[in-house]
Chains A and B, each alone.
Chain A
Amino acid sequence: MSAQAQHSKFIQGATGDWEIIVGLEVHAQVTSRSKLFSGASTAFGAPPNSHVSLVDAAMPGMLPVINAECVAQAVRTGLGLKAKINLRSTFDRKNYFYPDLPQGYQISQYKSPIVGEGEIQVDLTPDHSIKVGIERLHLEQDAGKSLHDQSPTQSFVDLNRSGVALMEIVSKPDMRSADEAKAYVTKLRTILRYIGSCDGDMEKGNLRADVNVSVRRPGAPLGTRCEIKNVNSIRFIGQAIDVEARRQVGIIEDGGAIDQETRLFDPARGETRSMRSKEEAHDYRYFPDPDLLPLEFDEGFVADLDAHLPELPDAKKARFMADYGLSAYDSGILVAEKETADYYESAVSHGGAKRDAKAVANWVMGDLSAYANSLGLSVAQTEIGAGSIATLVDLIGEGLISGKIAKDVLAIIIAEDRSADPRAIVEARGLKQVTDTGAIERAVDAIIAANPDKVAQAIAKPTLLGWFVGQVMKSTGGKANPQAVNDMLKQKLGV
Chain B
Amino acid sequence: MSVDQAIVRRIAQLARIAVSDEEVPHLEGELNAILSFVEELGAVDVTDVEPMTSVIPMKLPMRADVVTDGEIESLVLANAPLTEDDFFLVPKVIE
Across the interface, which residues of B come within 8 angstroms of A155, CB to CB? 89-93
Interface positions, chain B 5-29, Cβ under 8 Å from A, are 14, 16
The DSSP consensus for interface residues of chain A is loop
Given A50-B71, A148-B93, A278-B95, A71-B62 contact (CB < 8 Å): yes
Option from A70, A277, A295 in Cβ contact (under 8 Å) with B65: A70
**A39→B70 contact, CB < 8 A:** yes
Across the interface, which residues of A come within 8 angstroms of B53, CB to CB? 90, 288, 293-294
**A99→B65 contact, CB < 8 A:** no
Interface positions, chain B 34-80, Cβ under 8 Å from A, are 53-54, 58-73, 75-77
**B69→A53 contact, CB < 8 A:** yes
A20 to B17, CA, bound (A): 43
Across the interface, which residues of A come within 8 angstroms of B93, CB to CB? 98-99, 146, 148, 155
Across the interface, which residues of B come within 8 angstroms of A285, CB to CB? 14
**B60→A34 contact, CB < 8 A:** no
Chain A residue with Cβ nearest B13 = A280
In the complex, which range does the number of interface residues on chain A fall in? 35 or more
**B89→A157 contact, CB < 8 A:** yes
Contact with B along A43-73 (1 / 0, CB 8 A): 0000111111111010000000111111100
Option from B58, B66, B87, B94 in Cβ contact (under 8 Å) with A49: B87
Chain A residue with Cβ nearest B16 = A97
**A40→B67 contact, CB < 8 A:** yes
Given A40-B67, A67-B63, A48-B89 contact (CB < 8 Å): no
Chain B proximity of A70: nearest CB distance (Å):
7
Across the interface, which residues of A come within 8 angstroms of B70, CB to CB? 39-41, 50-53
**A49→B60 contact, CB < 8 A:** no
Chain B proximity of A190: nearest CB distance (Å):
24
- Would you call A158 an interface residue if the criterion is a C-beta within 8 Å of the partner chain's C-beta atoms? yes
Across the interface, which residues of B come within 8 angstroms of A157, CB to CB? 87-90
- Would you call B84 an interface residue if the criterion is a C-beta within 8 Å of the partner chain's C-beta atoms? yes
**A54→B75 contact, CB < 8 A:** yes
Across the interface, which residues of B come within 8 angstroms of A153, CB to CB? 91-92
Given A65-B61, A148-B93, A49-B69 contact (CB < 8 Å): no
- Would you call A442 an interface residue if the criterion is a C-beta within 8 Å of the partner chain's C-beta atoms? no
User: Could you list some 23 contacts between A and B, CB below 8 A?
Assistant: A32-B65, A34-B67, A34-B68, A40-B67, A40-B69, A41-B67, A49-B87, A54-B75, A54-B76, A65-B61, A67-B65, A68-B63, A98-B93, A146-B90, A150-B87, A151-B89, A154-B89, A154-B91, A155-B93, A277-B94, A285-B14, A292-B60, A293-B58
> Hey, which bits of chain B sit against chain A, CB under 8 A?
14, 16, 53-54, 58-73, 75-77, 82, 84-95
